[in-house]
Amino acid sequence: NAGVTQTPKFRVLKTGQSMTLLCAQDMNHEYMYWYRQDPGMGLRLIHYSVGEGTTAKGEVPDGYNVSRLKKQNFLLGLESAAPSQTSVYFCASSLAGGQQFFGPGTRLTVL
Amino acid sequence: DAKTTQPPSMDCAEGRAANLPCNHSTISGNEYVYWYRQIHSQGPQYIIHGLKNNETNEMASLIITEDRKSSTLILPHATLRDTAVYYCIVRVAGLWFQGAQKLVFGQGTRLTINP
């Protein structure tokens, strides 16, 4: 039981490049979330999903897109990366009303 | 959602009880108090939550005052592995949008356990 896994662990992009972060969970959770954490700050919610095929915006959705084609996977896309998107990205999953289980994070640097 | 206030940092000796305070004076009757921690930039880890009564699990105890305006997380016998940032979060009970949870993370308390 791997829990929540994230791919890749590290990535460096140039401004304007695109990339996709993958989150996978093997706990059969309906709910999945993407957060970002900037240095010295708490986590902020980017997008979330309440089930396969559904997504919704969180606090800071601009510049990101998401997809949930399969229940176990939640993808976060950056179409045109900007230096302001340099951050650590965390994925989480949960049952309805339950605690959130977090992945190990992806450290993204945009030059 | 109610806002929480935590001290930015605390120290505790290894083997002693670590008591982490949280003020949530604007909490509503249907809001839970949750605690998560983040060890050295790993993903946050759930610790415990409560509504009115004190709660205990294998990791910690949560003491909520009678007026619910503050709470204390207690790690009974702190070890070096408990060094982390601890987040106190107030969350509306029940379901948010179609069942999703809304967790609002502040800056937390950086707890350092000293040998």
Residues in chain B: 115
* Cβ separation B95–A40 shorter than 8 A: no
pLDDT for residue B41 is more than 90: no
B115 touches chain A (CB under 8 A): no
Neighbours of B115 (CB within 10 A): 7
Which of A35, A45, A100 lies closest to B46 in CB terms? Answer: A100
Which of A42, A56, A99 lies closest to B46 in CB terms? Answer: A99
pLDDT for residue B60 is more than 80: yes
Nearest residue on chain A to B92, alpha-carbon basis: A97
A5 touches chain B (CB under 8 A): no
**Of residues B28 and A15, which shows the higher confidence score?**
A15
Output the pLDDT for position B104. 82
Residues of A in contact with B105 (CB under 8 A): 35, 42-44
A4 touches chain B (CB under 8 A): yes
Output the pLDDT for position B1. 58
Output the pLDDT for position B2. 61
For chains A and B, count residue pairs whose Cβ atoms are closer than 8 Å: 62
To the nearest whole angstrom, how far is the Cα of A83 from the nearest Cα of chain B?
20
Output the pLDDT for position B94. 53
B91 in helix, strand or coil? strand
**Of residues A40 and A104, which shows the higher confidence score?**
A104
**Which pLDDT tens digit goes with each residue over A38-75?**
988 889 999 999 999 999 998 899 999 999 999 999 99
pLDDT for residue B93 is more than 60: no
Q: Residue B4 contacts by C-beta under 8 Å, 6 or more apart in sequence?
A: B22, B23, B24, B88, B89, B90, B106
* Cβ separation B105–A90 shorter than 8 A: no
Output the pLDDT for position B96. 60
To the nearest whole angstrom, how far is the Cα of B33 from the nearest Cα of chain A?
12
Q: Residue B58 contacts by C-beta under 8 Å, 6 or more apart in sequence?
A: none
Cα B53 from Cα A96, distance rounded (Å): 22
